[in-house]
């Protein structure tokens, strides 16, 4: 039985239960109940989340992870994002290195940040799809450098999840999350060679 750790923001929270259920019998899926928020928070909390699985670190086979919505967001309507794209890239690389040091046998997959609602519903802490694309481009460069696979949930959502399957400005309905979850499941299976 393979061991999979899912980490990420509220988008991950939306599909993790579905992924766990669908992979039952093929992989044991672990994830924190909390939102992994922005990159600095993920870096700081990473050892705690890994320890909470209750299994030896060497037995984690795959970490599927995302950060981005919080990093790109303009909290409290500020003119600037929480993290600049440059700092976002630095933090992603630090997280990759920490994952590798803590779980040396784990494959790592990074999921790109999903787009916000194409209906342009107003956001409390706004970010635009053009900003998300900029942050995703940074992530792709970092993952290439770190030799980490990328799961392109951005393009998947852009092409397959219409505004009607969003619950609000950036979260999805159950069907939207199933579409994302199915791609996560395919990625896990392909990476770990699970039939």
pLDDT tens-digit profile of 132-191? 999 999 999 999 999 999 999 999 999 999 999 999 999 999 999 999 999 999 999 999
Please say if the pLDDT value at position 69 is more than 90. Answer: yes
Measured CA angle at 162 (ends 158, 166), to 5 deg? 100
Query: Domain coordinates of the chain in residue numbers?
Result: 2-192
If you average pLDDT over every residue of the chain, what do you get?
97
Please say if the pLDDT value at position 71 is more than 90. Answer: yes
Q: How confident is the model at residue 122 (pLDDT cuts 50, 70, 90)?
A: confident
pLDDT of res. 57: 97
Q: How far apart are the C-alpha atoms of 103 and 38, rounded to whole Å?
A: 21
Q: Among 3.40.1160.10, 3.40.50.1110, 3.40.50.1820, 1.10.260.40, name the CATH number for the domain at 2-192.
A: 3.40.50.1110
pLDDT of res. 195: 86
pLDDT tens-digit profile of 45-60? 999 999 999 999 999 9
**18-41 burial code (b ≥16 CB/10 A, e <16):** bbbebbeebbbbbbbeeebbbbbb
**Half-sphere exposure (Cβ direction) of 154: Cα atoms closer than 13 Å:** 22
């Amino acid at each position: 039985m393979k061991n999979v750790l899912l980490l990420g923001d509220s988008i991950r929270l939306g599909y993790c239960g579905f992924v766990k259920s669908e992979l039952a019998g093929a992989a044991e899926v672990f994830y924190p109940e909390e939102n992994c928020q922005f990159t600095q928070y993920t870096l700081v909390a990473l050892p705690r989340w890994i320890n909470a699985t209750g299994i030896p670190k060497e037995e984690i086979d795959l970490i599927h992870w995302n950060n981005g919505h919080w990093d790109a967001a303009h909290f409290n309507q500020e003119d600037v994002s929480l993290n600049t794209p440059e700092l976002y890239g630095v933090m992603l690389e630090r997280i990759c290195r920490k994952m590798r040091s803590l779980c040396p046998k784990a494959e790592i997959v990074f999921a790109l940040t999903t787009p916000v609602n194409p209906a342009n519903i107003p956001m409390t802490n706004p970010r635009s799809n053009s900003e998300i694309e900029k942050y995703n481009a940074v992530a792709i460069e970092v993952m290439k450098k770190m030799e980490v696979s990328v799961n392109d949930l951005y393009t998947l959502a852009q092409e397959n999840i219409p505004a009607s399957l969003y619950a609000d400005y950036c979260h999805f309905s159950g069907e939207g999350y199933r579409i994302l979850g199915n791609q996560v499941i395919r990625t896990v299976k392909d990476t770990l060679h699970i039939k």
